[in-house]
Amino acid sequence: MRYLTAGESHGPQLTAILEGVPAGLALCAEHINKELARRQKGYGRGRRMQIEKDEVKITGGVRHGKTLGSPIALVVENRDFKHWQTIMAVEPIDDEAEVKRKVTRPRPGHADLNGALKYGHRDMRNVLERSSARETTVRVAAGAVAKRILEEVGIRVAGHVIEIGGVRAEKLDYRSLEELQAVTEESPVRCFDPEAGQKMMETIDWAKKNGDSIGGIVEVIVEGVPAGVGSYVHYDRKLDAKIAAAIVSINAFKGVEFGIGFEAARRPGSEVHDEIIWSPEQGFSRRTNRAGGFEGGVTTGMPIVVRGVMKPIPTLYKPLQSVDIETKEPFAASIERSDSCAVPAASVVAEAVVAWEVAAAIVEQFGQDRMDLIKENVERARRYAKEF
């Protein structure tokens, strides 16, 4: 399975083409729109979320509520495009006023300058329109399709926020993913710990008042993945490596860890590795899950636990210094409409990209064409591991 996205932040629409999704998967717009709505929520979001009400149109690959096995086309309209039709026109324009509105002032922390150097753009709107986090809209749409595949084979995915602006959730004593989801869906910052959640919102308010922005850490848990998914044989087939790449591909994400992650560097081996246990009811398992569900790039059957670090959004209302690429004169960076904190929304994006990588690995390993065969093969793998 793979997908491509196309479209600009203020263009007419965002598009995703999904290839390799098995035939026979029950899928309708409602499955995807639910995830798109989750992405638009969250304390600290900017005015753009008040303009857009993201809804998907499935324009290929699905008939009568079932996938066909052919490429799936997903489209999300940008409602704000009506205000940008001249600036973002596809055809050449003769309007000198618009031509002169080139973006020549790169913003620190964005892809503006690097993208201009790479592609030779003298108008950096050609860069910022595509490098915008608006693109994650259709990545969440693709992730919603992946979640449907995982649901069919008994795999559950949940994400939540564990830190914002230095405020960390301490009470994480949830008993199930269902409880975690129920609580975090009601939290404006997607935090299970209500006291920490309140402090997170106060910190976001502080940042907004001071023209600043803050980042944080999100966690994604995947339960029900059979042991043995992934590969220890080739570096590029290790599933944890693919998930790590997916996490840091999200806009503004700068780090990733599994299980106890970087804490492993500070502990002795006896406090890092997971002891193997066995029972007739479960078969092989681990006493702990410090490895976060992976050994050697292969799933252990324990929950996958992965965290991503999001830096503060670089668009600030208290702008940083930069240099104009035409005049070479210093200036205070321009302000584009932005969020003061997008960590809660980013947790939904993280769910989506992790779900896609896990679903792709399941499809590749257990049969590529038909959902019914994939379900049979996954169940067979579970029985095999239990009786091994």
Binding residues: 39, 45, 130-132, 251-252, 296, 311-315, 337
State both tokens at 273. Answer: 């590795």
Q: What is the DSSP string of 135-176?
A: GHHHHHHHHHHHHHHHHHTT-EEEEEEEEETTEE------SS
Q: Report the alpha-carbon distance of residue 113 to residue 171 in Å, rounded.
A: 42
Residues 54 and 36: beta-carbon distance below 8 Å: yes
Locate 141 and state its tokens: 């749409």
| DSSP assignment letter at 250 | S
CA distance 209 to 270: 47
Cα distances (angstroms) measured from residue 167 to each of 139, 153, 195, 253: 28, 36, 10, 18
Instruction: List binding-site positions for FMN.
Output: 130-132, 251-252, 296, 311-315, 337
Binding site for NADP(+), by residue number, is 39, 45
Q: Which of 68, 63, 77 has the alpha carbon at shortest distance from 33?
A: 77
Distance CA 133, CA 204 (A): 19
Q: Hey, which residues does 321 pair with through a beta bridge?
A: 332
Cα(first)–Cα(last) distance of the chain, in Å? 30
Type and span of the H or E element at 346: helix 343-366
CB atoms within 10 A of CB 129: 19
**Unique residue bearing structure tokens 């029900």:** 224
- What does the angle CA 386 – CA 289 – CA 379 come to, to the nearest 5 degrees? 25
